Structure 1
Amino acid sequence: MILYLHGFRSSPKSHKATLLAGALRERGLEGEWIAPQLPASPRRAIELADYLIEQARTTRGMEPGRDLAIMGSSLGGYYATCLAERWKCRAIVLNPVVYAARDLATQVGEHTMYHSDDPFVFLPEYVDELAEMAVGRPAHPERYYLLAAKGDEVLDWREMADWFSGCQGRILEGGDHGLSDFEQWLPEVLAFALPAS
């Protein structure tokens, strides 16, 4: 199962999530992925992800260490790292936030969502929630795949490369924060994400 976690102010309608859904549908695996709309509260976002994982364990017999890959973009990459350390599963991080409390402190306030006109309010206490859930560098780098673009206009790719040193993946020349060329890397990402069975 792939659990896809979108980025800040994004949604399951993002370009990457849509491409992923299509690729899995083509492989007959549309039932093997979940892409929830995450709440603004980081604590609640993690609680939702934990609930979905636990539900898959209970109803489908999914074993996280064997059957689960968590894919996260930007802030979702930070969440994916926190969850992968807890559940001891594979994680694919796409231009991930590394220092979430620092980077998201500048985003406190009211915004709109990227894929709708819905308001998105990021409260000061959410920065504290990000700090509280922080984990160290990956304990098992072999369980991680990093896709980071040097052309990321939002985050510093060098921090990503340093934090995820020893992990599989690619550092892309150029590119952008949204990974607009994600389709090119999707087969490689899915090869890492899907169980070998």
Structure 2
Amino acid sequence: MFLFIHGFTSSSQSRKAQVLKKWLSDQGRKEEWLCPDLSIDPTEAMQQLSSIIEESAQQEGKPIKLVGSSLGGFYATILSARYGLKAVLINPAVTAGLTLRRGIGFHKAWHSEEQLEFTQAHVDALNEMTLLSPANPYRLFVMLERGDETLDWKTAAAFYQDCHQLVFCGGDHGFTRFDDVLEMIDRF
């Protein structure tokens, strides 16, 4: 089971979420894909994700593997530590509160016309969630593109230095090589 965790103001309609969904569906595994539309409120988003993980743990079957992009990578890092799950992090945010403090205000959702308000309270919640270092680094696989125009790939490479890493030259924050790494994500 894959729990795809989208980034800031994104949704289950994000390109990477849909590519993973199609890839699994093409293999007859469409039931292995989950991607909730998360609240912009970090506390609510983490509650949504925790509920999914805890409900899944009560059911028989394969354990959940987290796949988080950007802010979703930040959340996946925390959830991996909390629940002992493997996580693949795509251009993850390391200090999300620090990064997103300049984003206080209203934002149009990426895949709808909805206006989302991001507040200082949200920044504070992200700062409180920030880990000093990754727990159980062997459970984390970090994929970075050096051309990320939103987050500094070197910050993530240093923070996740003891984790599995794959770093590509070029690319961008959307992670242009996502289609090419699906089998590695599956095998991790």
Q: What TM-score range do you get, normalising by the shorter chain?
A: over 0.9
User: What TM-score comes out, normalization by structure 1 length?
Assistant: 0.92
Of 68, 72, 94, 1:72 maps to 68
User: What TM-score comes out, normalization by structure 2 length?
Assistant: 0.96
Corresponding residue number in structure 2 for 1:141: 137
* Displacement of 1:166: 2.2
Contact 2:138-2:163 at 8 Å conserved across structures: yes
Query: Which whole-Å CA distance do the structure 2 matches of 1:150 and 1:57 have between them?
Result: 36
4+ residue segments displaced more than 4 Å? none
* Displacement of 1:136: 2.6
Contact 2:11-2:38 at 8 Å conserved across structures: yes
Of 126, 129, 137, 1:130 maps to 126
Corresponding residue number in structure 1 for 2:5: 5
Could you list the per-position Cα deviations for residues 8-44 of structure 1 after superposition, in whole angstroms to 9, with x for gaps in the alignment?
0111111100110011112222112210000010000
* Displacement of 1:101: 1.1
Alignment of 1:1-197 (within 5 A): 1-58=1-58, 60-61=59-60, 67-192=63-188
Structure 2 counterpart SS, 1:171:
strand
Higher mean alpha-carbon deviation, 170-179 vs 20-29, is at 20-29
Structure 2 counterpart SS, 1:67:
coil
Contact 2:56-2:64 at 8 Å conserved across structures: no
- For structure 1, the residue ranges without an aligned partner over 5 or more in a row are 193-197
Contact 2:80-2:86 at 8 Å conserved across structures: yes
Query: Which whole-Å CA distance do the structure 1 matches of 2:182 and 2:29 have between them?
Result: 15
Higher mean alpha-carbon deviation, 70-79 vs 134-143, is at 134-143
* Displacement of 1:180: 2.5
* Displacement of 1:116: 1.7
Count residues in correspondence.
188
Identity of aligned residues (%): 36
- What is the aligned-residue RMSD (CA, Å)? 1.2
